[in-house]
Amino acid sequence: MPCGSTKASKIYHEIRSQVEAEGLENCFNVILVNRLLDFMGLTANEVKEAAKREVS
């Protein structure tokens, strides 16, 4: 995600807090891609379509 380290850290910790609030276990230093996409309001298909447009 294109942002500075301060904002990236805030997003990382916010997502990890959401996971913990759901009663799920956080893996060490990891967030799942789908969690980040949800946070950004995107779907995997939207990302794939954007990548296809970039190539063509």
CA distance 11 to 17: 10
pLDDT, tens digit (0-9, with 9 covering 90-100), for 8-53: 999 999 999 999 999 988 888 888 888 999 999 999 999 999 999 9
Cα separations in angstroms, 18 against 1, 32, 34, 46, 56: 19, 12, 13, 23, 37
Q: Which band of pLDDT confidence, cut at 50, 70 and 90, is reported for residue 6?
A: very high
Per DSSP (E only), the strands in 1-56 are: none
Predicted pLDDT of residue 27: 83
- pTM for this one? 0.73
